[in-house]
Amino acid sequence: MYPKGRMSHHFREMCEGEYLAVKGPQGRFNYKPGQVRAFGMIAGGTGITPMFQLSRAILENPKDKTSVHLIYANTTLEDILLKEELDAFASKFPNRFKVYYVLSQPTDSAWKGGVGHVSKEMIQDYCPPPALDIQILRCGPPGMNKAMEAHLNALGYTSPMQFEF
């Protein structure tokens, strides 16, 4: 539970057997192998869901040569969803899948990933540069999506190069 989480308190108060209707993520994205040379992906928390699904589809298709560059932001190391699976992709496909983790509140002084919030500099360092055959996908909390859109625009990624789930 997050102390300031909008849904955390509601979930905590629910009883076993109760239901909650949910929807999301927003945005319809259709992928065809080879539609871009590379994807940059910026995910926050549960926003990893569509990124993981697309990455798995790309990497498990031996005919698809698309590369994936993922920046994945969370609060703490324990909050990183699918970490084992993402690390396995990075190991199995070192030339096609790169992941960079960012924590806003790292609890271990030995943490080697990014610290704070995803910055323009992180995007420059870990995502492919703007080009016609590049697309940047983003999925995270509304504030993060808004900040990432501003960073991407400032870095020269045009609207057709961006997609928000």
- Give the annotated binding-site residues for FAD: 7-8, 49
Distance CA 115, CA 103 (A): 5
Annotated binding site: 7-8, 49
- Which residue from 104, 117, 39 is spatially nearest to 78, judged by alpha carbons? 104
> How many whole angstroms separate alpha carbon 133 and alpha carbon 103?
30
Integer angstrom CA distances of residue 20 from 8, 16, 141: 13, 11, 20
